[in-house]
Structure 1
């Protein structure tokens, strides 16, 4: 069109091409087309630039977005709007570059833009996620004082979440009370943050009070609500109470997710209730909507090995593979040590070789149990000839983060 026939696209057609390439995930092609806009004498609307930047950030290319954005505004190829700045600010906050986000907010006035509620929400959330919750709270207070751009439930919840993650539950509740006094109703996310925060510090009484207040205000709980309560009870060793909450989920017609299953199964295994853990694992395997992951199976395999039931543990391993779940380094480590404890060294060596073939580096597991792994490695390489008694390891199973 341009080379052979000498036609130049207009702004509308070029914007259509850019949007089409972006939708087709041809992001570099979109960027190239936009870079030619000035050559064609076109001024493409900000929408096309914003959509491309959002897609790039969604694929983790934040640094590319910042470079493109700064080049575009320097060359004056388009006029960024509030959405443009919000997209870039959200991207840099996602990678922890909050200072860069603050600089971008300061530059908005140059282009006739003013930060809106979304801008401030992104900024507050970014500050709180980088452990600068006091600065995030100050932004919230400033918004309340100025009255120009009023905070909403998202702004308050971000600050509440920041204080909860820092273990400052009194400050979190103070912000919550301030929000309610301001006439802003908390939502499910707000309550979930508080319930999870109290559960993490072992204050189950307060967590239950927040849950009861949630139900009184007819704010519907979700799977995160119940998972947080279950996690709190499990952390305090109150497994039967956690199982009661598990049963309550059915009354609310809420299905447990992969993390709910993992929390309960892990806690059952800690209390050597392997039969119940296997029962839940079987229930999980019947759920087509949940993709099984190794961190759910590993505690069951571990508790069976520690009880000497290594063949049952291996059956669990085979079951997870049948479900399309690949064993990880912890799975193999548990089995290697379990079979060593039963003096079945040849099978331990077999798992060692299988681990290596699966791409799990032996070095990655030596930190937790050097004697056992060294023993198997020497046997696997022919460097040891005698079978020795292997002490029971203290394997730390990784717990999922909600």
Structure 2
């Protein structure tokens, strides 16, 4: 497709039909289906003959013998068989029934067989009139297969033919555009949806706001939130959290605090984003203030909160304080340190060369019934090497690899780490 079509402009009719279906002009091989007698059939025949019918076909596929076979195959989920009957019917002058074809297209699309879905749509286009349901089914297939250009072209063609997309069609397109990092196009699609009087659901809004924030388009995200409120769908905590996370990633933690002040129904995720953002910008005291506010507001700490605080302390060379915090949190109850927590503490000790304390932290971890993972040992062995205890590190790494506690790839990495530390010493 040359250039991305404008999604939302309604073009005047006249362009050649089937532009999105040109790839389907080559027919599929017409392998004759093998049909066994149906237990539900009232026919006494033990097999179905596919001899040519001498009488001319009726107008619609559902009114013909092959149309009835097509419908039965669709109901049984035999899509290739149904496509065969459709092609046979149309080759004899029949006219495609949009409802049956839409079901066939939807079936192929849901199975990821997009080429066959396109083929069925092309047959409907040449021998009938595609409706909104058929377009929606094919567009869903394009979206599921991440065929963005084809999905956009199909939406553009719907506008050219004055076929109004359904809300489900827009939702599918918005979702896949957000997933593929095309938040700008997703926003344009939502604007078109609103202009046509269709209502986005909360999931579409959530996906779009999150995608805009991931791409750093915070002003656009706020604009969408304002549009939500104007449409009687006030932004929820998920939307606010996405915006605050985006602000913190751009180094705008104080602005994120201002957004937090405007929120209702704050949760731990709301505070976690702001605390992490402030601490990353060196505003430790402000971060601690936010933690205190969190407790004052009655917002419970979750595992992410605890691990965030431990990680922040360790990152600032305060592994001892982090380990003390872990002990204090466990004594108060409501928190059980995980392997993620302990790995952060061990890494914090190793980074400042306090390997003995790291080993003690590992022993304490095991003593409390928390099982180390490969990352735990990787951190510790590399800490030993960086401390100058290279022989000990390689011996430990070899023993761990022999026990299959660490992978061969990790062992190779250790060797490179040891070599690098030897050359720098």
Q: TM-score when scaled to structure 1?
A: 0.66
Q: How many residues align?
A: 323
Equivalent position of 1:67 in the other structure: 149
CA RMSD of aligned residues (A): 3.9
Q: Distance in 1 between matches of 2:245 and 2:386?
A: 38
CA contact (8 A) 2:144 2:176 kept: no
TM-aligned CA deviation for residue 125 of structure 1: 2.0
Deviations 1:323-364 (A, max 9, x none): 2533177433212235xx3xxxxxxxxxxxxxxxxxxxxxxx
Please state if 1:8 is matched with 2:62. no
Equivalent position of 2:262 in the other structure: 178
Which of residues 151, 160, 169 is equivalent to 2:244? 160
Larger Rg: 2
User: Per the alignment, in what secondary structure is the counterpart of residue 8 of structure 1?
Assistant: helix
Q: Distance in 2 between matches of 1:248 and 1:153?
A: 30
User: Per the alignment, in what secondary structure is the counterpart of residue 265 of structure 1?
Assistant: helix
User: Per the alignment, in what secondary structure is the counterpart of residue 159 of structure 1?
Assistant: helix
Distance 1:16 1:159, change over 3 A: same
CA contact (8 A) 1:223 1:257 kept: no
Q: Distance in 2 between matches of 1:284 and 1:52?
A: 50
Distance 1:323 1:148, change over 3 A: same
Equivalent position of 2:384 in the other structure: 304
Equivalent position of 2:418 in the other structure: 335
CA contact (8 A) 2:358 2:380 kept: yes
Q: Distance in 1 between matches of 2:103 and 2:337?
A: 42
TM-aligned CA deviation for residue 172 of structure 1: 0.7
Please state if 1:209 is matched with 2:289. yes
Deviations 1:290-346 (A, max 9, x none): 7534xx5444333322443223212342355312533177433212235xx3xxxxx
TM-aligned CA deviation for residue 97 of structure 1: 2.0
Q: Distance in 1 between matches of 2:140 and 2:373?
A: 31
Please state if 1:269 is matched with 2:350. yes
Where do residues 7-26 of structure 1 align in structure 2 (5 Å cutoff)? 7-9=69-71, 13=77
Distance 1:208 1:313, change over 3 A: same
Distance 1:307 1:115, change over 3 A: closer
TM-aligned CA deviation for residue 163 of structure 1: 1.3
CA contact (8 A) 1:143 1:149 kept: yes
CA contact (8 A) 2:167 2:200 kept: yes
Equivalent position of 1:349 in the other structure: none
CA contact (8 A) 1:116 1:149 kept: no
Q: Which runs of 5+ in 1 are unaligned?
A: 57-61, 342-389, 393-402
Q: Larger RCO: Structure 1 or Structure 2 (Cα < 8 Å, ≥ 6 residues apart)?
A: 2
Q: Which runs of 5+ in 2 are unaligned?
A: 1-29, 34-49, 51-65, 80-101
Equivalent position of 2:219 in the other structure: 134
Equivalent position of 1:318 in the other structure: 398
Which of residues 233, 236, 252 is equivalent to 2:334? 252
Equivalent position of 2:270 in the other structure: 190
User: Per the alignment, in what secondary structure is the counterpart of residue 205 of structure 2?
Assistant: helix
